[in-house]
Amino acid sequence: MVLATVQLVSAQYYIIPTLNAGSNPGKVNPDGENPYPSSANAGWTNLWNGDASAVPEYTTEQTIPFAFKFNGSSVQKYTASNFGTVSFNAGTPSTKPTGFSNISLPSADIPNNSVCALGIVPKSVTSGANTYKSAVMTKTYGKSPNRQHWIWFNFFGEANISNGWTYWAVVLEETTNNIHIVDMKTLCVTSAGQLCNENVKMSLGIQLGFPNATSVSGSPEVGAQQIKENIFTAADNSFYTFIQGNQPKNDLTCKSITVNKYLMLKDAPFTISADFENFGSAKVSSAEIGYSINNGAPVVGSASGVSISSLGKQSLSSPNKWTPSVVGVYDLKVWPAKVNGVADENTSNDTAYVKVNVIDKFAVRKILNEVFTSSTCGPCTPGNANYLRVIDGKNNHSSIKYQVYWPGTGDPYCTQEVRDRTLYYAINSVPRMEVDGGWDGNASSFTNAVYDEFQGKPSFLEITGNVSLTWKNKISLNLALTPLAAFNSNNLKLHAVVVEGTTYSNKKSNGEIQFESVMKKMIPNSSGTVLTALTKGVMVNKALTYTFNGPYRLSNDGSTSQHINHLTENSIETWNDLSVVVFVQDAATKEVLQSATFPIAMVGVEAVDQNMMLYPNPANDIFTIEVPDMVNANVVVTNLQGKLVYNGILESGKAQMMVASWAEGIYFVNVSGNNKNVNSKIVVRH
C-alpha cells in the first residue's frame, strides 16, 4: 500500500481545456441534463441526495466498471462526496472539509488521489408536485474498450449564484485513462425567479499527494462558460481533460473535418480541410496533412500558413485536392502526418473521420421550427414575438407550436402528444425551440443567422403531395417522398402534424391574445409513421387519413385530466385555417431531413354532422352563412365575451353580414329553427 501511494504521487497530469465544446467529451454520453429526480434520467444510479441541511459527507465506495489507471497506477474503486470530490482506492476517506466552499488546491482538507470540482453546495427546490434535490449519480456509457464512467453532481447550488443551480461531472475514460471535468449547466436565478448574471467560482483539479496538485487555470475562481440559458442538453457544455504524464512537445490533433458532408460531383475537385488543435507545449509552425478515401493510399502534403500556439486552434487544408469519380458515399479520414518536421508524439488523438455523400442533385431545404411555449409563461411572450420577427417575410420553413403543461396550471392547448414531444427533446423549460432537431435554444435567442445557417444547408429529400379536408372533417394526405441521396438509417419517421394558423380562445396569464401554428393533432400519433431506409431516386408514396371527432372544447388548463380526448372531441377553432406540416426525422439523431407545409383544401362543409357552410372564413368585410335545409331560421352571432353582435333571419337558407367594422377575433354562430339547432365559429381578420 505504501508503494502504491509513492507511485501515485510521483507522476503528474497536464490539462487540455475544451471550452464551449457544444458536446460531451468523446460524444459518448447523449443524455439530457435533467434535475434529480426525473424520469428522463433513466439508467443513472443515485449514490447520494440531499438538501441545504446536508453536511459534507462521502458516498459508499464504488467499483470502476473497467480497468483504469489513476496517475499511472491501476485503481479499482473510488468514493465520491457531496462536496465535489472523487477519491481513489481509499475506502471512506477520513479527511474532509468542515463546510462547502471552493477550497484552493492543494489542501490538507482534501483527500489525496482525488479529482475535485469544489464549490458546489447541496440545495432543493419545490416546483408543483416535484421536489428537486441535489444528487450524486453514476452511469457508464459506450462499449469496451472505449467506455466512459460518469460521476454526476446533479442540481447543486453555489455561493455566488443566489437561488440558481449548477451541474458538474467527473468522467473516467477507458483505455486512454483520461479524466474529464465537465461544465454542464449553470444558471443564476434571483429570489423573484428572474435570471441574473452572477457566475460560480469553482476550484477544479486533481490533488495527488499533499502538497502536489494540478489545477485548472483560474482556480479557485473558475466560472462556468455559459450562464445565460437553462439548456438541458450538452449543447452548452465545456470540459477540462486531465492527461497522465508530461505534455508532449509536438502533439497536433485533428478535431473535426470541415468538408461538407454533401458535395456536388460537378464541383470537383474538392479541398480537404480540417480544424486542428495544438495539444503540445511547442508552437506548431509547420505541419504535413494526410488524408485517405475509403482507407485507400494516404495522400500527404504540407499545409500553408501554419501557426498554432500551445492549446491554440487553426483550420488547415491539404494542398492535394480530391476528385471523386462517381456519385456515392465515401469514408474520409484526416490526420497530421508530421508536426514541426517530426512525427506527431501522440498518435492516439490524431485522426478525425467523416462520411461524405457525393451527389448530383439536391433540394432547397425547408427548415422545421418547433416552438415550445405556454400562455402561462411570462418569458414566452417576448420569445414568441422574437420568433415572428425572425420568420417575417421568409418562406423556407415550417412552424409548429407546442403549448406545454407548465408553468402553473399550464396551457389549455396542451395534449398528450405535446407531452410526448417535450419528452422526446427533453424540454424542461419554456420558451424553447428546436430547429431541424439540431438547434436547441430559447426562442428569444433565435436569430436570422440561425435561420440562414440551417436553411442554407442542402436537403436531399423532396416532399410533395396534397391534403384535403372532406365531409365529416376527414383529413386525407397523399404524399410522395423522393430521396436525392441514399438514407441508410433504420430510424426514419414520417410525421404529419395538423396546425391551426391563428387561434384566439386561449387567454391565460402571460398577456398573449393569439397564437399561431398551434399543434392540434399528430397523424396518426406522436410516434409517426416508420420508414425503411431510403434508396436514391426511389419514390415512396404514403397515404394518411385522420377524422376529427365530436364537438369543439377548450380545456381549462394543461393538466392531463383536461386534455382533449380525440376519440370524442376536438379543439379546432376554425376549420378554414388549418395546414398540415409534414417532416421526415431520424428518431435516433433527431435530425430533420426535410419538411413541407400543406394548406388544407376545403371540400364540402365546415362542421361535423352539420350541413352548414361558412365562407369566407376568416372573413374581412362580408361573411356568408348557408344552411340549405333551415329556411327562415334565426341567426345569432356572439363574441367571445357572449355579447350579441348580430341577430337576423336565414332567408332562403342563406344570410350575409357586414363584418368590416367588427373587431378581429373569433365569433360563435348559432342557427335555430325547423326543429334543428346548429353551431359553429367564424374568424374575422382584417
Query: What's 634's domain CATH number?
Result: 2.60.40.3080
User: Average pLDDT, whole number, for the chain?
Assistant: 91
Short-list 231, 251, 233, CA closest to 241:
251
The percent of residues in the chain predicted with pLDDT above 90, rounded, is 71
For residue 634, what are the contacts with CB-CB under 8 A and spacing of at least 6?
647, 648, 649, 650, 671, 672, 673
Does 653 lie in the same domain as 510? no
- The position carrying cell 494542398 is 319
Residue 640 predicted with pLDDT over 80:
no
Please list, in sequence order, all residues whose beta carbon lies within 8 angstroms of the beta carbon of residue 70, skipping any fewer than 6 positions away: 8, 88, 89, 113, 177, 179
Cβ-based burial of 634 (10 A; exposed 0-12, middle 13-18, buried ≥19): middle
The tens digit of pLDDT for each residue in 527-572 reads 999 999 999 899 999 999 999 998 889 999 999 999 999 999 999 9
Q: Is residue 267 part of a domain?
A: yes
**pTM summary value:** 0.66
Is beta strand 195-196 parallel, antiparallel or unpaired with respect to 203-209? unpaired
| 330-334, 485-489, 498-502: least confident range | 485-489
Residue 144 lies inside a defined structural domain of this protein:
yes
Question: Looking at residue 5, what is its pLDDT?
Answer: 30
Contact residues for 163 (Cβ-Cβ < 8 A; gap 6+): 125, 157, 189, 190, 191
Burial readout 414-423 (b: 16 or more C-beta within 10 A, e: otherwise): bbbbbbebbe
Angstrom CA distances, 90 to 58, 87, 139, stand at: 12, 7, 21
Q: Where are the beta strands (DSSP E) in 96-215?
A: 114-118, 120-121, 124-127, 130-141, 148-158, 165-173, 179-189, 195-196, 203-209, 212-215
Length of the chain, in residues: 686
Q: Tell me, yes or no, whether 458 and 491 share the same domain.
A: yes
Residues 212 and 77 in one domain: yes
Rounded to 5 degrees, φ, ψ at 447 are -130, 165
568 and 507 in one domain?
yes
* 263 and 315 inside one domain: yes
Asked whether residue 4 carries a pLDDT value surpassing 90, the answer given is no
Determine, yes or no, domain membership for 608.
Answer: no
Question: Is 124 in the same domain as 168?
Answer: yes
Residue 336 lies in a domain: yes
Q: Would you tell me the crossing angle of helices 448-455 and 380-391 to the nearest 10 degrees?
A: 50
Question: What are the strands, taking DSSP E only, across 298-344?
Answer: 299-302, 313-317, 328-339
- pLDDT, residue 471, reads 58
CA distance linking residue 422 with residue 374, whole number of Å: 12
Average pLDDT, stretch 456-464?
Answer: 92
Rounded CA-CA distance 616/529 in Å is 34
Q: Which domain holds residue 239?
A: 2-244
Cell representation of residue 16: 487540455
Same domain, 588 and 635: no
CB 22 within 8 A of CB 237: yes
Backbone angles phi, psi at 384, to 5 degrees: -65, -40
- pLDDT at site 166: 97
CATH number at residue 392: 2.60.40.10
554 located within any domain: yes
Among 602, 636, 666, identify where a domain stops.
602
Q: How far is the CA of 268 from the CAs of 324, 360, 484, in angstroms?
A: 7, 11, 19
Q: Of the given ranges (89-98, 349-358, 533-542, 597-606), which has the lowest mean pLDDT?
A: 597-606
Do 12 and 60 share a domain, yes or no?
yes
* Cα(86)–Cα(48) distance, integer angstroms: 13
Give the three-class secondary structure for 557: coil
> Strands, DSSP E only, in 11-129?
13-18, 45-50, 62-70, 73-80, 85-88, 114-118, 120-121, 124-127
* Total domains present in the chain: 4
- Establish if 523 belongs to a structural domain: yes
Partners of residue 585 on adjacent β-strands:
493, 592
CA distance 504 to 507: 8
Decide which of 359, 381, 401 is a domain's last residue: 359
Cα–Cα distance for residue pair 338/302, rounded to 1 Å = 9
Q: End of a domain among 191, 218, 244?
A: 244
- Can you tell me the distance from the alpha carbon of 7 to that of 98, in angstroms, rounded to the nearest whole number? 29
If one counts every other C-beta atom within 10 angstroms of the C-beta of residue 325, the result is 8
> Strands across the sheet with 654-658, in order?
613-615, 622-626, 654-658
Cα 296 to chain centroid, rounded: 37
State whether 342 and 420 are in the same domain. Answer: no
Residue 128: per-residue pLDDT:
67
Range with the poorest average pLDDT among 586-590, 641-645, 678-682 = 678-682
Regarding whether 126 and 192 lie in a shared domain, the answer is yes
> Is 607 domain-assigned?
no
For residue 472, what pLDDT is reported?
A: 61
Same domain, yes or no, for 333 and 221? no
Segment 456-472 mean pLDDT: 84
Whether 561 and 529 map to the same domain: the answer is: yes
